[in-house]
């Protein structure tokens, strides 16, 4: 304002608000955030003799994250001493956030009931990368086996938008489920899709 004679009418503080990914984590307290931001903004504007601008937020992730669940099929289970590795048919190609940002997922066995004791396992992806770890030390039934399905909740925000063709693995489909009905929204990426970009072969 002092340098350019402009008083901005709106302040957008962006998004990226935290969401709870695992049991025991607390979701963002939106009303408390609003109270604190409005209070700080009002105090800062009063100190600078500025009118309080319209406040905007972009909740994005906090709105859609819990709407999505990623499903993986177990490909192999490897036991090496006290360690158990559970390899699934996805990984950093469809969910790079554990490798890039250290996000801790909470996979759960779905599709069948198990009465086996629970033990910590490492859920790893299908790619030949040391960092392709979806969830270290996650509790799963000791009888988890190839063919089982694992569900990773809170997958609605970034799985689709950050998915890549890592190792030429096609991106997975997206299916909407409501009231007992399923509808395909995005089809699975095929080998033909990947080859269609080649112009020199």
Separation in Å, CA 71 to CA 16, 54, 78, 127: 24, 41, 20, 17
Tell me phi and psi for residue 120, to 5 degrees.
-75, 135
Q: 128 catalytic, yes or no?
A: yes
Residue in this structure with the two tokens 């299916």, named with its chain if needed: 175
Active-site residue, from 45, 105, 128, 166: 128
- Based on DSSP, count helices (H) and strands (E) in the chain, helices before strands: 5, 10
* b/e per residue 174-185 (b: at least 16 CB within 10 A): beeeeeeeeeee
**CB-based burial label for 11 (10 Å; 0-12, 13-18, 19+):** middle
Rounded Cα distance between 48 and 136, Å, is: 49
Listed in sequence order, the residues at least 6 apart from 108 whose beta carbon sits closer than 8 Å to its beta carbon are 140, 150, 151, 152, 153
Residues involved in catalysis: 128
């Amino acid at each position: 304002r002092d340098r350019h004679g402009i008083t901005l009418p709106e302040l957008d503080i962006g998004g990226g608000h935290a969401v709870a990914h695992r049991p025991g984590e607390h979701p963002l307290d939106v009303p408390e955030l609003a109270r604190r931001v409005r209070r700080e903004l009002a105090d800062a504007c009063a100190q600078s003799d500025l009118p309080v601008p319209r406040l905007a937020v972009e909740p994005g992730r906090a709105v859609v994250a819990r709407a999505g669940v990623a499903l993986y099929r177990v490909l192999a289970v490897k036991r090496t001493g006290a360690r158990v590795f559970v390899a699934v048919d996805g990984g950093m190609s469809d969910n790079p956030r554990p490798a890039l940002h250290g996000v801790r997922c909470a996979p759960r066995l779905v599709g069948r009931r198990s009465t086996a004791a629970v033990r910590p396992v490492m859920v790893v992806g299908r790619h030949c990368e040391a960092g392709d770890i979806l969830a270290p030390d996650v509790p799963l039934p000791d009888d988890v086996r190839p063919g089982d399905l694992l569900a990773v909740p809170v997958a609605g925000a970034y799985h689709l938008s950050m998915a890549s063709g890592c190792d030429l693995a096609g991106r997975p489909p997206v299916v909407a489920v409501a009231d007992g009905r399923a509808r395909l929204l995005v089809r699975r990426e095929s080998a033909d899709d990947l080859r269609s970009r080649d112009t020199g072969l």
